[in-house]
Chain A
Amino acid sequence: MSLSNKHLLGLQNVPKEDIQLILDTARTFREVLERPIKKVPTLQGKTIVNLFYENSTRTRISFELAQKRLSADTINFSTSTSSAKKGETFKDTVRNIEAMKVDMIVVRHQSAGVPQYLTRISNANIINAGDGLHEHPTQGLLDMYSIHERLGKLEGLNICIVGDIAHSRVALSNIFGLKTMGANVSVCGPATMIPLGIESLGIKIFSNVDDAIAKNDVLNVLRIQLERNAGTRIPSLREYHKYFGITSERIEKNNKEIVILHPGPINRGVELSSEVADGPYQVILDQVTNGVAVRMAVLYLLGTMH
């Protein structure tokens, strides 16, 4: 069994069989992570570059750990886009890295489309670790893995993504991936944070967070990112919390069975109350562990493709 594409640019148009294969493979690696010696020699001799144009310690560490567990050689290239803009062009940087004979590039960039562009100028396998407001496919995959781990299935589940949908790459990857796997996906958030035309993808919109809690099996709660201009689209974090924050009271009142995901880092007291963030409904730390397993699966499947 192998994947149908040599890159992972997003979850849009990734067939169900591929997603299933990644999730199944991740399950194997998840077991490896429980062993005393957490390392397998699968990608020995492969060179992987983590090309991070945007600060994201968590995602980078998760990828790096996954690479180390697979015995790959890892190189980190991190820079902020602003400094990169002044110096060497993106294309030159990539050409230089390519010249060092790398097998895979894991890329995080502020601009949507950069992973796709990379496939045109590089022969390496490209893995998107988040591009602009577009996609973050490994996050989508680890979310699916974590939901499946908790509830035993994805098909037929009602899953709502809560927060700034319009400015989230996590949202799109979740939407594409979960729909492919047969879940019913909805979104909930202030109207200024719901992207135009989302209904035409078959996505239900909840404008009231109590309804969203009551009518769903899972909430994937996104981080409110002030650095993404959220400040102009909501009056204040306080008001956001009051009307859209997930609190224990809301859960107790509406649906005690709900499962809460969050891609991290959490703004406590904004999108989640501390009680929820540490409470019995959430799977947030499982997501982090699963993230390593899912990334190992993606790296392994792409790295051993012929």
Chain B
Amino acid sequence: MKIILKQVTLLNPEQKLNEKNDLLIVDGIIKKIGNVKEEDFKESKIFEFENKICSPGFFDMHVHFREPGREDEETIESGSNAAAAGGFTGVACMPNTNPDIDSAEIVRFIKEKAKNHLVDVYPVGAATLARKGEALSPMYELFEAGAVAFSDDGVAIKNSGVLRNALEYSRHFGTPIIEHCEDESFSDGAMNEGLTSTMLGLQGIPNVAEDLIVMRDIIMSEFIGGKIHIAHISTKGAVEMVRQAKKRGAKVTAETTPHHFTLTDDSVKTYDTNYKMSPPLRSSEDVAAIIEGLSDGTIDCIASDHAPHAIEEKEMEFIFAPNGILGLETQLGLVLSELFHKKHLTLPQVVEKLAVNPRKILNIRIPDIKEGDAANLTIFDPNLIWTVDVSKFKSKAKNSPFDKRLMNGKAVAVINNSCMFFEDKFFSI
């Protein structure tokens, strides 16, 4: 099948590409950029994409799909649909499934389930068996089966000696250890520690809970030389430590989430459990530091930490409700509304944070926009104003604090694996 994206702005900082042009895609392969002739238009489906941006497909390196184990909350398919609707062509899914992704069999199971979808799903293997922080998982086998990184996400690798071994061992295949940085001795809190937690009568989790583990991990990474990736960075102190570590040349990278650069712990005031996550929403000072870290490159990328939960589980008393919120279908809107339109990031930087850097961190090839290459593209409109409606989400779950929020900027289409998602439909191209 032939499709033409007319007058779309091609944007890929990796190729130094930033031009308005036509794009001819035949059977999923980019056949021609620009200079599309009269005859090409015949029998082709034409998309008028003037004023829209076309970049390498976006990649979310931190999502929780609940398969295997809690298919009632999210399956690999429903999660992949949510990813496509949110403008993503690739995701890395975290290992806290049931069972955990700590055997090659589960990695293969996920790859198999994800097959034939527009969205590529890359499993992140558990760093330790059952994420208990004791014995290393069969990392080599997991890597060979397709794991792109290792993590005990949900918690940090509990034991520093085990962290050392995981970092050393993973050097064999160059994958990063992704760390959920939280010192467990502070984890009985339900929100950020501060005046707000005092006023709300909720046990707090102080910034140092994150800072201590970030510090440990940076020190360990510099000692071993292994790659550490700090997941969902949320504190001013952690951003500064990563900044300094990078200056020293440490192999440290970091991601943050849309909620951590958009919301503060003030939101918890209504006790709405959609504002309960780990790490917790922090202070406005932390939010400012995160935005600064994104602008100056300290924070490499943005990931959603998409965490679906069943309605009855989230509709619980605040201290008992599980952590986490949906992210895939609101992420791009928040990045564009809160970072691009507020002039903290340029559009090329947005593409770096959403498409380029996550793949670099995970050693996944960054799709080029060039003739002869398979089309792996996200087309988005940075000025499309829309309102979030969770009832229309592709995700099986509905736990989003952003319902009814006005956004400026949205994905219009995604293309990958000879498949296109446009106007709420998937079709082969």
Q: Which residues of A contact B (CB under 8 A)?
A: 12, 81, 85, 89-91, 109-114, 116-117, 131-135, 166, 169, 172, 195-198, 200-201
Q: Which residues of B contact A133 (CB under 8 A)?
A: 201-203
Could you list 14 further interchain pairs (A-B, Cβ under 8 angstroms) beyond the known A133-B202, A135-B201? Answer: A89-B312, A89-B315, A90-B317, A91-B312, A111-B320, A112-B318, A113-B317, A116-B271, A132-B201, A132-B319, A134-B202, A172-B201, A196-B193, A196-B204
| Interface-centre pick from B199, B316, B317 (highest chain A CB count, 10 A) | B317
**B198 close to chain A: CB less than 8 A:** yes
A12–B201 CA distance with the chains assembled, in angstroms? 12
**B195 close to chain A: CB less than 8 A:** yes
Quick one: closest A residue to B188, CB to CB?
A: A229
For the complex, count residues of B whose C-beta is within 8 A of A: 20
Q: Which residues of B contact A197 (CB under 8 A)?
A: 194-195, 198
Q: With A89-B315, A196-B193 in contact, is A112–B200 under 8 Å at CB? A: yes
25 contacts between A and B (CB under 8 A): A81-B317, A89-B315, A89-B316, A90-B317, A91-B312, A91-B315, A109-B317, A112-B201, A113-B200, A113-B201, A113-B318, A114-B271, A114-B318, A116-B271, A131-B201, A132-B318, A132-B319, A134-B201, A134-B202, A166-B198, A172-B199, A195-B198, A196-B198, A198-B198, A200-B195
Assess whether B316 is in contact with A90, with CB atoms less than 8 Å apart.
yes
Q: Which of A90, A132, A200 contacts B202 (CB 8 A)?
A: A132
Assess whether B198 is in contact with A114, with CB atoms less than 8 Å apart.
no
Q: Which residues of B contact A (CB under 8 A)?
A: 193-195, 197-204, 270-271, 312, 315-320
Q: Which residues of A contact B204 (CB under 8 A)?
A: 196
Q: Which residues of B contact A114 (CB under 8 A)?
A: 271, 317-318
Quick one: closest A residue to B203, CB to CB?
A: A133
Q: Which of B193, B200, B270 contacts A134 (CB 8 A)?
A: B200
- State the Cβ distance, B149 to closest chain A Cβ, in Å: 34
Q: Which residues of B contact A201 (CB under 8 A)?
A: 195
Q: Which residues of A contact B194 (CB under 8 A)?
A: 196-197
A133–B195 CA distance with the chains assembled, in angstroms? 13
Q: Which of A90, A117, A200 contacts B271 (CB 8 A)?
A: A117
- State the Cβ distance, A117 to closest chain B Cβ, in Å: 6
List the 5 closest A-B pairs by CB distance, nearest first.
A134-B201, A113-B271, A197-B195, A111-B317, A112-B201
Assess whether B316 is in contact with A112, with CB atoms less than 8 Å apart.
no
- State the Cβ distance, B7 to closest chain A Cβ, in Å: 49
Quick one: closest A residue to B201, CB to CB?
A: A134
Q: Which residues of B contact A110 (CB under 8 A)?
A: 317, 319
Assess whether A196 is in contact with B201, with CB atoms less than 8 Å apart.
no
A196–B198 CA distance with the chains assembled, in angstroms? 7
Q: Which residues of B contact A89 (CB under 8 A)?
A: 312, 315-316
Quick one: closest A residue to B268, CB to CB?
A: A113
- State the Cβ distance, A72 to closest chain B Cβ, in Å: 26
A166–B316 CA distance with the chains assembled, in angstroms? 24
A109–B270 CA distance with the chains assembled, in angstroms? 16
- State the Cβ distance, B203 to closest chain A Cβ, in Å: 7
A109–B194 CA distance with the chains assembled, in angstroms? 22
Q: Which residues of A contact B270 (CB under 8 A)?
A: 116
- State the Cβ distance, A119 to closest chain B Cβ, in Å: 11
Quick one: closest B residue to A135, CB to CB?
A: B201
Q: Which residues of B contact A134 (CB under 8 A)?
A: 200-202
Q: Which residues of B contact A116 (CB under 8 A)?
A: 270-271
